[in-house]
Amino acid sequence: MKVAGIGFRDAATAADLQAALALTGEQVDALASVIGKAETAVMLEFARKAGLPVIALQEHDIAGEQTLTCSPRIKARFGTGSLAEAAALVGARQGQAGARARLLAPRVVTADGLATAAIAERLEL
């Protein structure tokens, strides 16, 4: 299972989220983000257009998750270096006890800086 972790600023549009996902060059099975972003109209519109389910994570689910990249702003806010990478990793492990995941595509950022995406894949047990 491949999951795209998505992060974005309030000004982002569904097109910005699509652009971030396109930068990864990967096809995914689901999208993941923290609940405050996963339930926004922008994320739901993007998910509907992409035909993908959204995994809504609690902030404590991603806190402490080790990531390849680190944004000081995200580290201070969410307790992890990259919301997109952490959401992708945690989302890929969801629903399978003891599952592990690895990043296939580290965080990418749209040119306007409004959206980020990262891809993780669940590893078979």
Q: What is the CATH number of the domain that holds 29?
A: 3.30.420.180
Longest Cα–Cα distance in the chain: 40
Which H or E run contains 75?
helix 72-78
The pTM score is: 0.95
Which H or E run contains 119?
strand 115-123
Per-residue confidence in pLDDT tens, the chain, 125 aa: 999 999 999 999 999 999 999 999 999 999 999 999 999 999 999 999 999 999 999 999 999 999 999 999 999 999 999 999 999 999 999 878 788 999 999 999 999 999 999 999 999 76
List the one residue out of 42, 99, 101, 64 whose CA is nearest residue 6. Answer: 42
Which residues constitute the domain of residue 32?
2-123
User: 109 pairs with which residues across the strands?
Assistant: 116
- Indicate the number of domains in the chain: 1
